[in-house]
Amino acid sequence: MQQETELQQQARIRHEVEENLVQLFAIEDEALRTTITAARKAGLPAIQINPLQGKLLQVLAAACNAQKILEIGSLAGYSGIWLARALPPTGRLITLEVSPAHAEVVQRSFEQAGVADRAEVRVGSAHESLPQLVDEAPFDLVFIDADKPSYPHYLDWAIRLSRPGSIIVADNCIRAGQALSESALDDQGVAGLYQYNLQTLKHPRLRAIALAMDEDYTDGLNIAVVLPEA
Ligand code: DHB
Ligand code: MG
């Protein structure tokens, strides 16, 4: 067998470390695995968060004593299950999903994971659903993982629906570095993500960081904490 190159060795070690981290901190149970299988069968893309991101969301939910969580973009309900499991029995997750077909998959995922009592999927464009959530605010944690050009708009709403100490997390805020600079702004999705990162940095009520959280170091989460009003 040919000896592995230095690059191959680095990739192998990264992969092994990721595996070890997942095994120790973020092991998926049957319900989470079933959700991924159901998503694939329903023809949904396999672009859900990874288990370590799911566990990080749970840690962040604990950090802000989350009783109410808002998710924008449900996909198949995989992240929703991680989030709902971070809630007390009296807690509430509202997840917004634009596709009625996807929302059906999400509902079944929540039922089979035993979180349907505290997790609710609302069907429709988030642009229309968000203004209707004012009476249910504040949300302690908001997780944004939806259409990328709308991220700056979703951030405005996340802040409006939050309280000091709320945490706002957004997926895909690195994009192999493209979402961190002005180099690829002709892509509307990348432009939205870059604008999102800038907004989290310049907003006087936010303290933010982006973390690469996949094993290739190519994509990850923007995490922002809502500060008290000055
Ligand atoms: C895409 C969207 C996501 O939310 C993600 O995590 C990965 C990829 C996409 O639209 O391609
Ligand atoms: Mg995503």
Place of tokens 């997390």: 169
Check pLDDT > 70 for residue 1: no
What does the pLDDT read at residue 217?
Answer: 82
The predicted pLDDT at position 192 comes to 97
For ligand 1, atom 2: residue with the closest CA:
47
Atom of ligand 1 nearest to the CA of 189: 10
162 lines ligand 1 (CB under 6 A): no
Distance from residue 171's CA to the centre of ligand 1 (Å): 8
DSSP conformation class of 118: T
Alpha carbon of 47 to ligand 1 centroid (Å): 5
pLDDT confidence band for 2 (50 / 70 / 90): confident
Say if CB 226 and CB 205 are below 8 A apart: yes
Kindly report, residue by residue over 217-227, the tens digit of the pLDDT.
899 999 999 99
Whether residue 173 contacts residue 213, with contact meaning beta carbons closer than 8 Å, is answered with: no
Q: What is the mean pLDDT of residues 144-169?
A: 98
Name the closest-CA residue to atom 1, ligand 1.
Answer: 47
Handedness of CA 224, 154, 52, 4 (dihedral sign): negative
Asked if the model's pLDDT at residue 44 lies above 80, the reply is yes
Q: What is the DSSP letter of 187?
A: S
Q: Which residues contact 73 (CB under 8 A, 6 or more apart)?
A: 95, 96, 97, 98, 126, 144, 145, 146, 147
Q: Is 219 in the pocket of ligand 1 (CB under 6 A)?
A: no
Going from the Cα of 18 to the center of ligand 2, the distance in angstroms, rounded, reads 19
48 lines ligand 1 (CB under 6 A): no
- Pick the atom of ligand 1 nearest to 147's CA: 10
For domain 6-226, give the fold: Rossmann fold (3.40.50)
- Tell me the average pLDDT across 44-55: 97
Point out the ligand 1 atom lying closest to the alpha carbon of residue 73: 4
Token pair recorded at residue 196: 């999102």
Task: Give the Å distance between the CA of 172 and the centre of ligand 1.
Answer: 7
Which atom of ligand 1 is nearest the CA belonging to 49? 6
Cα–Cα distances in angstroms (integers) from residue 31 to residues 90, 208, 214, in the given order? 21, 32, 22
**Residue the block writes with tokens 């229309």:** 128
For residue range 159-217, list pLDDT tens digits in order.
Answer: 999 999 999 999 999 999 999 999 888 999 999 999 999 999 999 999 999 999 987 88
Which residue's alpha carbon is nearest to atom 6 within ligand 1? Answer: 47
pLDDT in tens, 86-107: 999 999 999 999 999 999 999 9
Give the rounded percent of residues in the chain with a pLDDT score beyond 90.
Answer: 93
User: Domain locations in the chain?
Assistant: 6-226
Q: Where are the alpha helices (DSSP H) in the chain?
A: 6-25, 30-41, 51-63, 78-85, 100-112, 126-129, 151-160, 188-202
Task: Tell which residue, 214, 198, 195, has the closest CA to residue 206.
Answer: 198
